[in-house]
Amino acid sequence: WSTIATPIDKLNDLSKISYPLCMRTLHEALCTNSHLRNSGRMQYGLFLKGIGVTLEDALRFWRDAFSKKADGVAFEKKYAYSVKHYFGKEGKQTNYTPYGCQKIISSSVGPGEYHGCPFRHMDRDSLCQKLTSCGVFASNMTEILDLAKDGQYHLACAKYFEVMHNKPASKPLLHPNAYFVESRAILTE
C-alpha cells in the first residue's frame, strides 16, 4: 500500500487521475448520492485506508459525504462504527486489508449498488457512458468494451490505465491499490 498519507481534500482530483475505474465509480456515486450501501463503503473505505487516509480523516470524509442524508448524530449512530471497524478499532479489531481485483470481480452487485468491477458488472451501455465521462475517446472505446465483454477485465483495466496516463503500466496490476501506487509513481516522477 501507499506509505504516504493522502489528504482527503485531494480525493476528488485523485479520483480523476489516479483511481482505477472501480474506485472512481464509487467516489462519483458517493458524491452524487451522498450515500453508498455497505458493500460499496467497505470496498471504497478499505481502498482509502490503503492509499494512506487516516482513521480521523476517514471519519471526516464519510461524515461530510453523507451530510446531505445523515446529520452528525445519525452518522455517529449508523456509520461511524463501521468506519472504525474496518480500521480495526471496533468489534473483533480485525485489521482488514483492501480488496484485490479477484475479490471485487467476484462480488455480487445488486440494483442501486456501485461496488464491484465496472468492467465485469456494468452493462456495455453503462460502461460506455462511464468511460466517455472519464474522457475515453471512441478510438480506444471499442477495444476496452470488447475486452470487458470477453471477460478480460484486467486487460480492459490495463487499457484504461494506459489511456489515462498516456503510457502503459510497468507491470500487470491485479489490485486497485497497486493501480493507484503505479499511477502516482508515473504522475509524480
Nearer to ligand SF4 by Cβ, of 22 and 48: the residue is 22
The radius of gyration of the chain from alpha carbons, rounded to an integer in Å, stands at 16
Binder to ligand SF4 among 16, 37, 60, 154 (CB under 6 A)? Answer: 154
For residue 130, state whether it binds ligand SF4 (rule: CB under 6 A). Answer: no
Give the whole-angstrom CA distance, residue 174 versus residue 172. 6
For residue 176, state whether it binds ligand SF4 (rule: CB under 6 A). Answer: yes
Contact 131, 141 (CB under 8 A): yes
Give the whole-angstrom CA distance, residue 84 versus residue 55. 7
Stretches 2-10, 131-139, 153-161, 162-170: which one binds ligand SF4 (CB under 6 A)?
Answer: 153-161
Give the whole-angstrom CA distance, residue 31 versus residue 8. 13
The 18-57 site mask, x for binding ligand SF4 (CB under 6 A), equals --xxx-----------------------------------
Minimum distance, C-beta of residue 40 to ligand SF4, in the bound complex (Å) = 13
Which residue is associated with the grid cell 476496452? 144
For residue 180, state whether it binds ligand SF4 (rule: CB under 6 A). Answer: no
For residue 119, state whether it binds ligand SF4 (rule: CB under 6 A). Answer: yes
22 contact partners, CB below 8 Å, separation of at least 6: 43, 104, 115, 116, 117, 118, 176
Residues in contact with ligand SF4 by the rule CB under 6 A: 20-22, 101, 104-105, 117-119, 153-154, 157, 176, 179
